[in-house]
Structure 1
Amino acid sequence: MEIKELKHRLRLSEVIAHYGLCPDKHGRLLCPFHADKTPSLQLYPKTNTFCCFSTNCNAGTGDVIRFIELMDRCSTHEAIMKAKTLIGVTSAVPAVLPVAASSADPLEREAVLTKVFGSFRKALPASRKATDYLQGRGLDYRQHECGYNSGGLHVESKNHHLVTSMVKHGLLKAKPAGGYSVWAKDCVIFPLKDAAGKIVSLYGRSITNNNDQRHFYMTGRTGLYPCYPAPVTTKLILTESILDAASLLQQPAIAAQYSVLALYGTNGLTEEHQQAIIKLPALCEILFILDGDEAGRAATIKHAQTLSGLLPHVQFTQVVLPDGEDVNSVLQSHDDAQVLVDLVEQRQPIEFFVSIENKQAPVIPIPTTIDDRLHTANPELLVYESALLQVTVLGGVRLTGLDRLRVTLKVEHKQGLFLPVRHSLDLYHHGQVQQLVQLVTETFDMNGQAVVTLVAQLTGALESYRAQRLERLQSKPESKPALTPAQRQAAIQYLQQPNLLRRTSDDIGQSGIVGEEMNRLIAYLVYSSRRQATPLHVMFLGASGSGKTYLQEKVSDLVPAEEKIEITQVTENAFYYFRQDELKHKLLLIEDLDGAESSLYPLRELQSKKRISKTVTIKDTKGNLKTITVVVEGPVSVSGCTTREKLYEDNANRCLLLYVDGSAEQDGRIMAYQTRASAGQIDQGKEQAIKSLLRNVQQVLQPVRVVSPYAQHITLPSEIFKPRRTMTLLLAFIEAVTFYHQYQRVQKKDGSGQPYIETTPEDIRAALHLLKEVLFSKGDELAKATRIFLEQLKALLAAEGKDSFTAREIRQQLRIAPGTLKRYLSELERYGYLKGSGNRYRHYEYTIIRMDEYEALKSSIDSQLQAIVARIEVKPASPVVQ
């Protein structure tokens, strides 16, 4: 960037604000470059320069680069690099920051701030004006962690050793003529703390200036007030300022039920705030209590939308304060502090529902360009220039309330022949516009029609500017990263290779998944089906610590990130908060169904009906109650993990059930992989390349209708329980196998011209082979864990040549917990697989009634599946209806 352009883009007013300096209404301020008692530094906004008229100062006249150079006592090159950072231009050379922003040693900074704040805290009770100020704000300093900075801490002889550290960390600033300027002088001080509860920054609130410079933050502000919320927090209140937060914390009824966190103004929801909030595992409600003005109300909606995107399961509410009031002013104006408790109890929900009556958000016409005479570098100080006049919009324009355009204008004659005109009005109010036109016409002795034209042009420019700002604030639709032609071609060629399922299974194994050959391939095919009109669902089952979540996580890592949603915990109404099409053809990953127990019903509806709806009542803009229906569209593919198959039977019936391998052999394979990885013998680059390829494969799969002309020849084995849903799952899985082979199938068209592909006997054979264990489980009345125990028990008795056993013997040999063993034995005895004899309390023995029953069941199902394959190879395919 050229120096000329840099000076043009960076306004001197921004640099002044960056250093915490505040000029008076005439653009003058105390010169920071010498000991100045009366303002001698003049700012010239038109030329973007400054000049110090004091004979005791060597600053002279300069521009923004010179100002930074003098303030930071750095070279011109360093000042240019700093200027680039102020306008957001990155550079290969790190920008030079003030000494105050440097914190090479966080422990040193923490120690200094803790020491200094301790002195401030001791000074507060001794300062009558500080305690009177807090008392006037309705705050009892004895209930809060706060202090007072009189500005004399460094002068006391006992604190001389702190001066160097205070300068280093920005609490003092050396003056060129000697002495120090003090950060946050005559301010009450509040500490800002990190996640460990350590003081990492300070905030100062002036007790002498309530108009211009009231708030002081240290350079490089970090930390939160009063501290990071406790992990057990269920309800969190967000306020606009620290004094508002202190006002609420002073009320025992509120502090007992809520955690309180202060924002740093309407735009002060920082990344640190967000990270602290989303890490609260038990959080169920966030309550906004921001100021009762347009900025506060707009910030409430803005921040609620931001956090709802991060925490869709959390309820968002607000307290609407009276116009012009904040939390602290309400406390001051009422004798009884119970008013704050009452306000909190009267909070209202912030609705984020989308009505089916208005699925599309209103489109705001956005002009392609803004009038180039409107300078918008500083959104709080817009400047519009005509041939003779310069109009400054003080405070910018509000983004809320499109039915009005309230502004405060400062109209100046460019030749400086007249005093400027200042006027507040609504540019949509005809009478107020007429008053402005008359005032400007008379003051500057101008033609009335020229002023009318100027105001009309200014109004149009501000409308365009506001519309563009609103457009930028609206959430943009998710954009999927497009594959390069080479990536796309490689993925298609992969899908065209012979033995595709075997190749895919091997590559999934090489991506880092050990064992589980059948389960991993089935899960990958199920996840691929999310793009179809009727996706499949899967549930991973197994004992705690058997690797259910690990397997789901590893296979889902082969799906593009933008096409899946991972859920650890979800509340009952959370699914209704998604946008109407946000879940469409997505993969929902639920880490543990216990965390989604309250939302299993809408989850089942998404699986079965492919959409959920909810009718709610809201208030319209006029306060009238109105009933709307919230709709969230599917279809989705759902994947979850649990140890309790019977508890979630309704959901399990809609899923393919995959039981993870908990054998000792699988344990050995996993541990061998872990040791190889630890020894650096695993090619991580190759694993990542395979993952990337399989993700690309997912992206080139296109939705297409699948027709199975052999479906009428497929029958379920007679032993299968709940055959209706099992048949649906089997046919859908056969279609998923065909869908995965779409680049190896001829695409045909039906009578209406719609494309489709046909299932082949090879697809059916592969699907039956993969689902054989699933069908065995569907035909077994025992839970899989119980079945595994029974088969282990049979093998153990056969090896020892015994016909009976006691619970104690089996528990010792199979190393099973007593409670688990009791559950297994009870279920087997109840279903008639075991017969007990003897005294129930002493020497009670069990006998297995039939040793070969499971082998007979598997043999029967297997033979019926082979018969299906043989029948399909002989029978002709049914014709497709045209």
Structure 2
Amino acid sequence: MAKVFSYFKIALPRTKKAISYLQQRGINYQAHEVGYNSGGLHQESKNHHLVSSMVKYGLLKPNVAHGHSVWAKDCVIFPLRNQEHKVVSLYGRSISNDSDQRHFYLSGRTGLYPCYPDGAVTRLILTESVIDAASLLQQAEIFGEYGVLALYGTNGLTQEHQQAILACSGLQEIIFMLDGDAAGRAATVKHAGTLAGLLPQVKMTGVALPDGEDVNSVLQSHDDSQVLADLIAGRQPVTFYSSVEKENPAPETLTPSMPQATDTRLNTSNPELLTYDGDQLHITVLGGIKLTGLDRLRVTLKVEHRHKPLLPVRHNLDLYNHSHSEQLISKLSEAFDISLQVVTGLIAGLTGALEGYRALRLERLQPQPAAKPELTAAERQAAINYLQQPELLRRTSEDIGRSGIVGETVNRLIAYLVYSSRKQATPLHIMFLGSSGSGKTYLQEKVSELIPTDDKIEITQITENAFYYFRQEELKHKLLLIEDLDGAESSLYPLRELQSKRRISKTVTLKDSKGHLKTITVTVEGPVSVSGCTTREKLYEDNANRCLLLYVDGSKEKDGHIMEYQTRLSAGLVDQSQQQVVKQLFRHVQQVLQPVRVVNPYAAYIRLPEQIFKPRRTMTLLLSFIETVTFYHQYQREVKRDSSGSAYIETTPEDIRAAFGLLKEVLFSKGDELAKATRNFLEQLKAWLSSSGQESFTPQQIRKAFRLPPRTLQRYIRELYQYGYLRQVSGYKHRKGFEYAVADGSEYDQLTGIIEEQLQHVLSQIGSTTPTTPVLRQ
């Protein structure tokens, strides 16, 4: 064992993936005796005696066909030592498999990690795993004060552990530092009772790790390793059961939905070469079994006598076919001189074992829903505290900026609130508009990083029917992020239906098992919150009508701020770790926000200016946004109940004032018949004419002054001329193009003034009225 481990120890520093794995786990491999098993030692070594010894001690297992199966391949290896401090066994931890098989011990496991404790140790820490023990051993403040000993899992307090602990004559305290889950806490109580019976004079204490955490995960999640020492310092006495019945609860009863364990005689370590050991016969299933076609069990068998040097029998058959099985049983009985009754029982046992193995494989292939990460009590309280503090919207806007988003102060806050509305019954939708390269996709991406990963689906391109292939509730209360609406152009109709009706359905024709045609309806439930980016507002007008439209700032001032940030980032002057902390806080905030009904008692006083185009949808968007502002303040609002007992929170005048302030530019855009890009060009044109003292212009002058592409300039002028915002003052002359003048220089100021006046009137009315009382919901 010592020789093999020396080879593994040499291999570790040469293996990048093993070093990377240990670094990710926070383990300093240079501070420990640890190696790596690549699985190639027996192939690289020319020492045949070493290979035969590896087979003898279980490090290699000869395959029936050729070669060897390797124990603990692709594992980091830790040595297990006896009382003389000699390596007598090994432990392997897989670096590539974190779900099915992670821990590897040799058969007849002996030895302890890191070694037998010193007999003079006074305080001994017991951990649940070797990795946890290694995490403690590299902390000088812990290693110098305590002894450390690894158990082999929650049921891994062996007789060898107990004997080693009993040999510590100076022992005063045993400290259990097992995982912070139900199994770890139960094992702490159980093993404390066991050791207290052996060492009644020794104090039994336990370290309370955070829920769902172990020693190593705590080390990984904290920059300061002092956290482990602090946790140990806060240990408490263990209260353990004195009743044997409580220490040994009745085993859990398997329900029909739980897969049964396979026959222990069936070895499934190699799925392509299954083996089954009977009393007299050894059966190899060549090529394994197929998982499809549950109405048959076709196998190719190689059957050998375990004790007689007889030729093996090879046979291909379907074990579910009675005549096939009868032929095999008769053939084996005759070839090996064994009674038909014994062979029949053996084949029946093989069939049952293969059925159980196939059922387990199929169960594991089923997609398992990913466990949604739960917040710790401290994380949850910190998020709630954030939502309870005054001036929530101002702090949220500032902290969004601290997450790494430059400028776009209003747009980023609106987007974050819209994304938060996904949890409500009627979520909002958003569309980012701007020229190519203006940063609209970047803004969407950065704000979406504040939303938990499980709550959003990012789409680059999607086909028309793809939405119907989601599971029925897979999209429910999700945020759909579409990088460019051009990539989803074929799916805009189902997307609109999801936005409006909050569900989509499609009737398709299928054939049943008898070949008869039948129709079924596929339904996908919403609601969803949709966010998309485009440069072409008019092309996607039907979808844009259902969205809040946010126009990205493409000014030179914004360009300067972004370039300044880019240079600071490149120079290492931006604290990216602090940005990650802020993003994580926002994700936690999103997790503590709960769906709640919002009642706006001031809704009857809200009126839109007559200048707003498509007022019905605009009013719906405005009211929904006000509700979203209230929803975000839910931890600052009293929960009330209507006459039916349904809980709700109420909108305040401050919520309406904040919503009006944020959506002012959106409402201006809704009241303008021009697209925002065209409007921006017109206002820029007015400013240029005023500053240059001119009343008219030619396209050639403007193209040079604004540095616009000719086709873009032509589109702007054509649209403004058609809508009557420009008038032609002279014909085409001197090859300089037509000459134009602005028809009315104050029309936009008048429009925005009217809308602003109406909003202020609504706010003054609301401030002087008494809110209405909600009635029973219909």
Instruction: Give TM-score, length-normalised by structure 2.
Output: 0.67
Q: Distance in 2 between matches of 1:632 and 1:61?
A: 61
Tell me how far apart the structure 2 counterparts of residues 497 and 694 of structure 1 sit (CA, whole Å).
14
**Could you tell me which of 387, 396, 406 is aligned with 2:279?**
387
Q: 1:876 and 2:770 equivalent?
A: yes
> What is the CA deviation profile of residues 496-526 of structure 1, one whole-angstrom value per residue up to 9, with x for unaligned ones?
1111110000000111111110000000011
1:425-464 superposed matches below 5 A = 425-464=317-356
- Structure 1 SS opposite 2:732: coil
Give the whole-Å Cα distance in 2 for the aligned partners of 1:66 and 1:408.
27
RMSD: 3.1
Query: Structure 1 CA distance, aligned partners of 2:276 and 2:58?
Result: 31
Corresponding letter in the other structure for 2:686: K
* 1:89 counterpart (72, 75, 79): 75
> Match of 2:419, as an amino acid?
Y
Q: Give the C-alpha shift of residue 787 in structure 1.
A: 0.9
Q: Which amino acid aligns with 1:781?
A: E
Which residue of structure 2 aligns with residue 682 of structure 1? Answer: 574
Q: How does 1:294-309 map to 2 (within 5 A)?
A: none
**Which residue is equivalent to 1:865?**
759
Query: Which residue does the alignment assign to 2:244?
Result: none
SS class of match (1:523): helix
Task: Establish whether residue 795 from structure 1 lines up as the match of residue 687 from structure 2.
Answer: yes
Task: State the 1:61 CA deviation.
Answer: 9.3
1:850 match: 744
> Match of 1:404?
296
Alpha-carbon displacement from aligned partner over 1:81-140 (angstroms, at most 9, x marks no partner): x94563x423489xxxxxxxxxxxxxxxxxxxxxxxxxxxxxxxxxxxxxxxxxxxxxxx
Q: Which residue of 2 aligns with 1:562?
A: 454
Q: CA deviation at 1:564?
A: 1.6
Query: Residues 537 and 70 (structure 1 numbering): CA distance in 2 closer, same or farther, change over 3 Å?
Result: closer
User: 2-side partners of 1:365 and 1:465: how far apart?
Assistant: 15
Instruction: Give the total of aligned pairs.
Output: 554
Cα contact 1:541–1:643 (8 A) shared by 2: yes
Residue correspondence of structure 1 range 14-163 to structure 2 within 5 A: 59=48, 63=52, 65=54, 83=70, 86=73, 88-91=74-77
**1:66 Cα deviation from its structure 2 partner:** 6.7
Give distance in 1, aligned partners of 2:3 and 2:641.
64
Cα distance in 2 for partners of 1:632, 1:394 equals 44
Specify the alignment match of 1:182 in structure 2.
none
- Unpaired segments ≥5 residues, structure 2: 6-41, 61-66, 80-254
**CA–CA separation in structure 1 for the residues paired with 2:622 and 2:720:** 29
* Equivalent residue in structure 2 for 1:378, among 270, 283, 289: 270
Residue 655 in structure 1 maps to residue 641 in structure 2: no
1:531 aligns with 2:423: yes
Cα 1:499/1:85, change in 2 over 3 Å: same
Alignment match, 2:598: 706
SS at match of 1:63: helix
From the superposition, tell whether residues 62 and 521 of structure 1 become closer, same or farther in structure 2 (CA, over 3 Å).
closer
Q: Does structure 1 conserve the Cα–Cα contact (< 8 Å) formed by 2:438 and 2:552?
A: yes
What's 1:422 paired with? 314
* 1:851 match: secondary structure: coil
Structure 1, unaligned runs of 5 or more: 6-49, 51-56, 72-78, 94-362
Following superposition, the deviation at residue 465 of structure 1 comes to: 0.4
SS for the counterpart of 1:616 is strand
Find the aligned partners of 2:638 and 2:732 in 1 and give their Cα distance: 67
1:824 aligns with 2:716: yes
Alpha-carbon deviation of 1:443? 4.2
Q: 1:669 aligns with which of 554, 561, 568?
A: 561
2-side partners of 1:785 and 1:407: how far apart? 69
State the 1:458 CA deviation. Answer: 2.1
- 1:637 corresponding residue in structure 2: 529
> Shift of residue 372 of structure 1?
1.3
* Structure 1 residues 347-380: Cα deviation after superposition (integer angstroms, max 9, x where no partner): xxxxxxxxxxxxxxxx995523112121111112
Other structure's SS at 1:565 match: strand
Query: Quick one: which amino acid aligns to residue 766 of structure 1?
Result: A
Asked if 2 retains the 8 angstrom alpha-carbon contact of 1:535 and 1:636, the reply is: yes
Equivalent position of 1:491 in the other structure:
383
Query: Retained in 2: the 8 A contact 1:804–1:846?
Result: yes
| 2-structure distance, mates of 1:395, 1:61 | 30
Instruction: Report SS of the residue matched to 1:641.
Output: strand
Aligned 8 A contact 2:260 2:360 in 1:
no
Query: SS state of the match for residue 393, structure 1?
Result: strand
Shift of 1:800: 2.8
User: Once structures 1 and 2 are overlaid, which stretch shifts more, 655-664 or 832-841?
Assistant: 832-841
The Cα of 1:419 is off from its aligned counterpart by 4.7
User: Is the 8 Å Cα contact of residues 598 and 630 (structure 2) preserved in structure 1?
Assistant: yes
**Post-superposition CA distance 1:790-813 (Å, at most 9, x none):** 111222222233322222222222
1:506-655 map, 5 Å: 506-655=398-547
Equivalence for 1:20: none
CA distance, structure 2, for counterparts of residue 856 and residue 92 of structure 1: 78
Answer yes or no: is the 8 Å Cα contact 2:59–2:71 preserved in 1: no
Query: Which piece of structure 1 moves more, 798-807 or 437-446?
Result: 437-446
- 2:259 touches 2:363 (CA, 8 Å); kept in 1? no
SS in 2 for 1:667: helix
Deviation per CA, 1:431-470: give whole Å up to 9, x if none: 3333333334444444544433333322221111001111
Deviations 1:249-305 (A, max 9, x none): xxxxxxxxxxxxxxxxxxxxxxxxxxxxxxxxxxxxxxxxxxxxxxxxxxxxxxxxx
Alignment of 1:267-286 (within 5 A): none
Looking at structure 1, the residues matched to 525 and 51 of structure 2 have their Cα atoms a distance apart, in angstroms, of 62
2:771 aligned partner, one-letter code:
A
For residues 527 and 70 of structure 1, do their structure 2 counterparts lie closer, same or farther at Cα, with a shift above 3 Å needed?
A: closer
Report the AA paired with residue 90 of structure 1: V
**Aligned partner of 2:354: which letter?**
L
Q: Aligned partners of 1:64, 1:781: CA distance in 2, in Å?
A: 86
> 2:22 corresponds to which residue?
none
What is the alpha-carbon distance in structure 1 between the residues aligned to residue 618 and residue 739 of structure 2?
38
Percent identity of paired positions between Structure 1 and Structure 2: 65
Question: What amino acid is the match of 1:568?
Answer: T
State the 1:623 CA deviation.
Answer: 4.4
AA matched with 2:539: L
Alpha-carbon distance between aligned partners in 1 of 2:317 and 2:667, rounded to the nearest angstrom:
75
SS of residue in 1 equivalent to 2:75: coil
Q: Deviations over 1:219-278 (max 9, x none)?
A: xxxxxxxxxxxxxxxxxxxxxxxxxxxxxxxxxxxxxxxxxxxxxxxxxxxxxxxxxxxx
Alignment correspondent of 1:150: none
Amino acid paired to 1:806: T
Within a 5 Å distance, the mapping from 1:248-263 to structure 2 comes to: none
Change (3 A) 1:493 1:58: closer
What SS class does the counterpart of residue 588 from structure 1 fall into?
strand
Residues 584 and 64 (structure 1 numbering): CA distance in 2 closer, same or farther, change over 3 Å? Answer: farther
CA distance in structure 2 between the partners assigned to 1:699 and 1:569 by the alignment: 28
User: Deviations for 1:604-630, whole angstroms, at most 9, x for unmatched residues?
Assistant: 111111222222333444544443332
Q: In the aligned structure 2, how far is the partner of 1:445 from the partner of 1:756? A: 81
Which residue number in structure 2 is paired with residue 110 of structure 1? Answer: none
Whether 1:786 aligns to 2:678 is yes
Name the CA distance, whole Å, in 1 between partners of 2:544 and 2:385: 36
Change (3 A) 1:372 1:797: same
> Which amino acid is the alignment partner of residue 712 of structure 2?
T
Q: How does 1:208-247 map to 2 (within 5 A)?
A: none
